[in-house]
């Protein structure tokens, strides 16, 4: 009899404790929802942006959705440079599966593709490694990148609604490197186009098919799609998805690499140690900070252009931003009129509001 009473008391205590924890979580989730919406709505207004959408997740669950104007959280949009983290995740999967190595040379992996192109104008091209591309340290100059200089002219001269990997690689091999591979960080879109070509060569599948099976299907997300208007930005800026689905992908990003405990995870830990514990570094298409509590990932994306090209009008302006914190909170947002915005202010204000809400 006493044993049954004791067990009943223990069960009741556990239930009451669980209810208390849930109540505290609900209260925190409400504070987080209010804080993130307040900051994002104010930021949109301050920057004169009429349309925006945001999803906030905590511990793997959506806790808040916010929409303004024509932008919706379930509306597929071009997420611009947030595509790079997806490309990085696909490459990481190949490396951890033993199908590719961080030290592999780009020229060796793409030997068959490069055979039909002119010999690279810079012999150092042959020294670029997969790790160099994943860290934006290929050595190419920002002045020749896709949104500037020669590549900007290339974009206007080719149909932006086609992927055109081969012709874009032909353009890249003509450039002289600004620095030795592996030595200097330059944020470059072309690194991620080259990684897209690597994925297709190693897997003998299209980027879209392989990355869907490797990354999206295991976490029950829809098939990958390139933007119907910006397919050419493909593996560096062309992912066409919703805020909700991107937030789910971002929420899984850090855990998936850490859980595999493969060479990519070891590499990230090494990079973190090199820059100093808790300090940020760039790899896998995103900014990363590793702390004893976990890993924080974040990246912004934007596209603004005027004029016309082979594929029609280039008049467009949009932006996106995501953060996946080491404490289990993730948010993703997208908005119009990226030309007018300052994502640095948004990151700082959101971070401050989230810290206060979690206290």
* Calpha distance 107→264 (Å, rounded): 21
The helix/strand/coil state of 179 is coil
Domains and CATH numbers, the chain: 30-358 (3.40.710.10)
Strands 77-78 and 240-241: antiparallel
**pLDDT tens digits, residue range 50-107?**
999 999 999 999 999 999 999 999 999 999 999 999 999 999 999 999 999 999 999 9
Question: What residues in the chain have per-residue pLDDT under 70?
Answer: 1-24, 146-157, 305-316, 339-341
| Beta-bridge mates of residue 240 | 78
Give the tokens for residue 3: 């044993």
Cα distances from 156 to residues 15, 138, 285, 309, in angstroms, run 63, 24, 25, 4
Cα distances from 159 to residues 105, 163, 252, 326, in angstroms, run 30, 9, 34, 41
pLDDT of residue 75: 94
**pLDDT tens digits, residue range 291-327?**
988 899 999 998 776 555 545 555 567 899 999 998 8
What's the CA dihedral at 280, 281, 287, 293 to 10 degrees?
-50
């Amino acid at each position: 009899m006493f044993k049954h009473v004791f067990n009943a008391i223990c069960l009741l205590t556990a239930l009451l404790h669980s209810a208390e924890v849930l109540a505290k979580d609900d209260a925190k989730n409400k504070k987080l929802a209010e804080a993130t919406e307040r900051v994002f709505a104010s930021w949109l207004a301050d920057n004169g942006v009429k349309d925006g959408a945001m999803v906030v997740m905590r511990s793997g669950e959506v806790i808040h959705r916010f929409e303004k104007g024509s932008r919706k959280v379930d509306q597929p949009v071009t997420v611009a440079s947030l595509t790079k983290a997806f490309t990085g995740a696909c490459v990481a999967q190949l490396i951890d599966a033993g199908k590719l190595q961080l030290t592999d040379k780009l020229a060796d992996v793409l030997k068959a593709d490069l055979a039909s192109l002119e010999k690279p104008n810079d012999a150092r091209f042959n020294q670029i490694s997969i790790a160099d591309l994943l860290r934006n340290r290929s050595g190419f100059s920002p002045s020749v990148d896709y949104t500037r200089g020669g590549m900007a002219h290339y974009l206007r001269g080719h149909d932006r609604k086609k992927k055109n990997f081969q012709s874009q690689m032909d353009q890249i091999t003509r450039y002289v490197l600004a620095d030795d591979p592996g030595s200097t960080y330059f944020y470059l879109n072309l690194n991620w186009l080259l990684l897209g070509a690597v994925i297709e060569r190693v897997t003998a599948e299209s980027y879209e098919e392989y990355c869907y099976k490797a990354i999206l299907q295991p976490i029950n997300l829809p098939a990958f799609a390139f933007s119907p208007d910006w397919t050419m930005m493909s593996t560096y800026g062309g992912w066409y998805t919703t805020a909700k689905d991107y937030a789910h992908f971002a929420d899984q990003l850090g855990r998936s690499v850490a859980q595999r405990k493969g060479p990519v995870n070891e590499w990230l830990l090494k990079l973190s140690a090199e820059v100093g514990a808790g300090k940020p570094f760039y790899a896998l298409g995103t900014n990363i900070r590793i702390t004893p509590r976990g890993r924080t990932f974040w990246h912004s994306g934007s596209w603004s252009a005027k004029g016309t090209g082979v594929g029609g009008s280039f008049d467009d302006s949009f932006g996106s931003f995501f953060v996946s914190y080491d404490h289990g909170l993730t948010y993703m947002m997208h908005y119009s009129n990226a030309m007018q915005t300052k994502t640095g202010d948004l990151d700082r204000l959101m971070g401050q509001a989230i810290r206060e809400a979690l206290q």
